[in-house]
């Protein structure tokens, strides 16, 4: 943890790290520190501009925007983490296995992943939504299905590279079993690169989820998800700009924060990016 805190080199990076940690914090504790109940409707107070009582105003059903934003952090981040964790698990399993097995199967799997990667996740998600009904769960499944080839390719590349290194030969000579090779040789070496990819993906997945929710095939009304909030506020945007601006700002700032943190990690850990001496 200390190591991470010491990484930022510019003020932008410091702010980004703070934002990222803050969002993670909100993901866990968001609903508890919200000043109002995010689901409480108060139709007499709808579309109220930001004020002392409602710092970010109220939406079309009179709900406090700030509270919904805080609650939304939980929905958004949990969905994102679910997608990435599942995609990572599947991707690692497929990629590492593929690298170990090698040969035609390896080739086929990677070609397959390449093709799979080409499809825009949004459209694929629409497909799943049509098949399974529009819901946050369907969107999550769709995104997992879209995303795992990313990790499969990456882990396969890393594993294949590690397998060519000399210390694997000595491990073979010592009779180290395969599963131990994976846990003790592959995973630790892959960790750095994976962490970078995961951090950068957080922003991308988050944008995808909020995008899907916006068009109605992700989280559904009246969930406090940021994309849904923008969809709900859209019809009132000319008179009540706060219903659209603040949720969007949240998405933007969060994505930006994780992107900068991901870049920061990449600068530290990615050896291919080192400047020539």
List residues near other proteins by CB under 8 A: 12, 111-112, 115-116, 118-124, 126-134, 203, 207, 210-211, 214-217, 227, 230, 234, 237-238, 241, 244-245, 247-248, 251-256, 259-260, 263, 276
Least CB distance from residue 141 to other proteins, whole Å?
Answer: 10
Which CB sits closer to other proteins, 11 or 177?
11
Least CB distance from residue 259 to other proteins, whole Å?
Answer: 5
- Taking the C-alpha atoms of residue 23 and residue 32, their distance in angstroms, rounded to an integer, is 14
Peptide bond into 38 cis (omega under 30): no
| Residue in this structure with the two tokens 């659209």, named with its chain if needed | 244
Which CB sits closer to other proteins, 41 or 248?
248
Which CB sits closer to other proteins, 156 or 181?
156
Rounded to a whole number of angstroms, the CA Rg of the chain reads 22
Which CB sits closer to other proteins, 78 or 122?
122
Which CB sits closer to other proteins, 77 or 203?
203
Least CB distance from residue 237 to other proteins, whole Å?
Answer: 6
Report the chain's terminal Cα–Cα distance, integer Å.
Answer: 30
Angle 224-225-229 from CA coordinates, rounded to 5°: 75
Least CB distance from residue 196 to other proteins, whole Å?
Answer: 14
- Taking the C-alpha atoms of residue 17 and residue 29, their distance in angstroms, rounded to an integer, is 18
Least CB distance from residue 42 to other proteins, whole Å?
Answer: 25
Least CB distance from residue 210 to other proteins, whole Å?
Answer: 6
Which CB sits closer to other proteins, 104 or 118?
118
Q: Residue 112: how many CB atoms within 10 A of its CB?
A: 14
**SS3 state of residue 78:** helix
- Taking the C-alpha atoms of residue 18 and residue 202, their distance in angstroms, rounded to an integer, is 16
**SS3 state of residue 267:** helix
Nearest partner of 47 among 36, 65, 59, judged by Cα: 59
Which CB sits closer to other proteins, 89 or 237?
237
**Are 162 and 186 contacting, i.e. CB atoms less than 8 angstroms apart?**
yes
Least CB distance from residue 188 to other proteins, whole Å?
Answer: 27
**Are 47 and 27 contacting, i.e. CB atoms less than 8 angstroms apart?**
no
């Amino acid at each position: 943890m200390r190591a991470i805190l010491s990484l930022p080199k510019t003020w932008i990076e410091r702010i980004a790290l703070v934002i990222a940690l803050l969002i993670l914090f909100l993901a866990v504790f968001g609903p508890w520190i919200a000043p109002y109940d995010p689901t409480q409707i108060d139709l007499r107070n709808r579309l109220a501009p930001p004020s002392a009582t409602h710092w970010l105003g109220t939406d079309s059903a009179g709900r406090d925007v700030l509270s919904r934003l805080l609650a939304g952090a939980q929905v958004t981040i949990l969905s994102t983490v679910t997608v990435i964790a599942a995609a990572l698990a599947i991707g690692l399993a497929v990629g590492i296995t593929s690298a170990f097995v090698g040969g035609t199967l390896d080739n086929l799997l990677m070609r397959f992943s390449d093709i799979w990667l080409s499809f825009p996740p949004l459209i694929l998600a629409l497909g799943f939504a049509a098949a399974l009904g529009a819901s946050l769960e369907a969107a999550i499944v769709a995104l997992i299905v879209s995303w795992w080839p990313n990790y499969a390719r990456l882990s396969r590349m890393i594993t294949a590279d590690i397998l060519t290194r000399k210390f694997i030969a000595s491990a073979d000579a010592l009779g180290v079993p395969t599963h131990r090779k994976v846990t003790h040789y592959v995973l630790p070496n892959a960790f750095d690169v994976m962490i970078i990819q995961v951090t950068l993906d957080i922003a991308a997945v988050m944008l995808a989820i909020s995008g899907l929710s916006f068009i109605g095939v992700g989280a559904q009304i009246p969930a406090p998800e940021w994309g849904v909030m923008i969809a709900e506020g859209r019809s009132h945007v000319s008179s009540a700009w706060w219903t659209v601006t603040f949720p969007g700002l949240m998405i933007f700032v969060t994505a930006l924060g994780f992107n900068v943190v991901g870049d920061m990690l990449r600068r530290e850990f990615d050896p291919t990016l080192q400047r020539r001496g």
